[in-house]
Amino acid sequence: MITAENLHKRYGSKTAVDGISFQLQPGKVTGFLGPNGSGKSTTMRMGVGLDKPTAGSITIDGKHFAQHKAPMRTVGAVLDAGATHPGRTGRAHLNVLAATHGISRSRIDHVIELTGLGGVVGKRIKGYSLGMNQRLGIAAALLGDPAVLIFDEPVNGLDPEGVRWVRGLAREMAAEGRTVFVSSHLMSEMSQTADHLIVLGRGRIIADAPIHELLDSGEKRVLVRTEQVAELANAITSRGVTIDHLDAETLQVTGLDPRSIGRRALEAQVIVHELTPQLSTLEDQYMKLTGDHVEYRSGGTFGEAPQ
Ligand SMILES: Nc1ncnc2c1ncn2[C@@H]1O[C@H](COP(=O)(O)OP(=O)(O)OP(=O)(O)O)[C@@H](O)[C@H]1O
């Protein structure tokens, strides 16, 4: 279990993490979502003792990372896939790490198999692709068979097969009862992996909820198709109702449920061909949540996962 209490981090005058508190549950993938620069990496780095909080705390199973006798057996983290010795082979890298924790050869072989590194583990790391490096980082994180996993943007730069593999692995690890904490700036990525989301904006938590709650809290929209758009718009116009004319026969209505729209259409003798509730997407919700919390804004929107 990972617990943050009033966690702060300042770099000079820059506040990267601004008093956040959360508790992550085992058996779940918790997505840590936020625009670039919102403080995700800083929080994760503090979780594994690579950065020191300015105030507050982040603990794993009640203790600071450094207080654990065998940290690799408690927490596996992939924070910077490039942090390896390029002249070593993948296997030598894993051997060195394993030696510090008395981890057996059979465990090393197991994580090599689990991460699909069998074909390259005898080669020098400097020749590894981004995907191989990412897999090696994950193999290292899994070495100690830890109950807590922390992955910072694990799918960055991976090909579609690699992305799917990381997603499956995260889900599998959670199903085994581990606490899995995965960051991303892509809602589309999180919506396929996480059970629970913590959304960060400018160093503060702006949502901490199960994915399904975030979806349910979205604004309900209804698509209505009729040849009598003007009459229908007239019949349903009231306070709190927004009507968008999508085309000559289609309205998108916000603020009124399908049943009420149908009843008012009947009263106004308007024939309706279609009445469809629109599910708000997680992407919509994310945009709404983070709209005011983006540090670096470009002309576009948050993109879809590169798949
Ligand atoms: N070592 C540092 N010195 C100064 N500022 C830093 C340092 N590390 C992070 N920051 C700043 O703190 C803020 C949060 O950065 P952080 O990397 O934690 O965000 P993030 O949500 O992980 O973003 P990204 O998705 O881009 O990695 C940013 O404004 C960043 O520039």
Q: Is 134 in the pocket of ligand 1 (CB under 6 A)?
A: no
| 195: exposed, middle or buried (Cβ count in 10 Å: 0-12, 13-18, 19+) | middle
Q: Is 199 in the pocket of ligand 1 (CB under 6 A)?
A: no
Please compute Rg for the chain using Cα positions: 24
DSSP state, 63? B
**Ligand 1 atom with least separation from CA of 295:** 29
Q: Is 40 in the pocket of ligand 1 (CB under 6 A)?
A: yes
Q: Is 41 in the pocket of ligand 1 (CB under 6 A)?
A: yes
The strand order across the sheet containing 221-226 reads 242-247, 250-254, 221-226, 272-278
Q: What are the per-10-residue average pLDDT scores of the chain (307 residues)? A: 96 95 96 91 94 96 89 88 76 92 92 92 90 91 94 86 92 96 86 90 90 74 94 93 93 92 96 86 71 54 37
Enumerate domains of the chain plus CATH numbers: 2-216 (3.40.50.300), 221-277 (3.30.70)
Instruction: Tell me if the pTM is above 0.90.
Output: no
Q: Which of 187, 272, 195 is nearest to 236 (CA)?
A: 272
Q: Which two tokens stand for residue 160?
A: 């579609």
> Could you tell which of 9, 10, 13, 14 is best to mutate to test the pocket of ligand 1, judged by most ligand atoms within 8 Å of the CB?
14
Q: Whose CA is nearest to atom 4 of ligand 1?
A: 11
Q: How many CB atoms lie within 10 A of CB 123?
A: 14
| Residues 82 and 133 sit within 8 Å (Cβ to Cβ) | yes
ipTM for the assembly: 0.95
